[in-house]
Amino acid sequence: MSSWFSRFLKCAEIDDEDSGLGPKHPSFAAHFRDPIYDDPADDLAPFGNDEGWDLLADWAERADELHSDSTLTQLAPEWFRGRPLLPADLNEHDVDVNDIVIAAGFTLLRLTGQIGEPDRALVLRALDIRDRTHGHEPQTQQMRADLLAFGRTR
């Protein structure tokens, strides 16, 4: 099935009331208000690519397994090779890992309302790499600004 068609089907299945992306922790809902956080079709949105959508869909069904100390490694152990990644581990050559880091970070935030500093640094590094590989896109700029401000103003 072609990529545009699978995205069309994904969009067609969305519930008009809540975008079909599952629950939002109140802290996430209060801070991450841009439409990109509910966009299942924009490849540069956290849940718009296949990896991001699948990760969120899987964990939305298992949100009760997440806690205030959950990490990106817990959300995507197969991508993290069972160990926490460091920002220096990310590079321009592994676009899929960078996309997973971004998706896992925003999935964690969406479902738990928290992200630890090491994971925040990893997501910020993945966003920086995305800038270098895709150019400075508004979605990436929005995610970076929101992530940098999250928890700093409370």
List CB contacts of 66: < 8 A, sequence separation 6 or more. Answer: 59, 74, 75, 108, 111, 112
pLDDT number for residue 107: 96
Q: What angle do CA 140, 133, 127 make, to 5 degrees?
A: 35
User: CA neighbours within 13 Å on the CB side: how many for 49?
Assistant: 18
pTM of the model: 0.85
**Which H helix or E strand runs over 105?**
helix 95-112
Give the DSSP letter string of 21-75.
Answer: S----HHHHHH--SGGGG-SS-TTSTTTSHHHHHHHHHHHHTGGG--TT--HHHH
Q: Report whether 48 contacts 56 (CB < 8 A).
A: no
- Give the pLDDT band of residue 20 (cuts 50, 70, 90): low
For the chain, the domains span 3-149
Residues recorded for the chain: 154
Under the banding of pLDDT at 50, 70 and 90, the label for residue 19 is low
C-alpha–C-alpha distance, residues 35 and 109, integer Å: 15
Q: What is the average pLDDT across 53-79? A: 92
Residue 24 has pLDDT above 70, yes or no: yes
CA distance 134 to 119: 22
How sure is the predictor about 10, in pLDDT bands with cuts at 50, 70 and 90?
very low
Give the closest residue to 150 by CA, choosing from 126, 122, 116: 116
For residue 151, report the phi and psi dihedrals to the nearest 5 degrees.
80, -10
More confident residue, 153 or 108: 108
The mean of the pLDDT values for the chain is: 85
With cut-offs at 50, 70 and 90, classify the pLDDT of residue 66: very high
**pLDDT, position 47:** 94
Asked if residues 99 and 65 have their Cβ atoms less than 8 Å apart, the reply is no
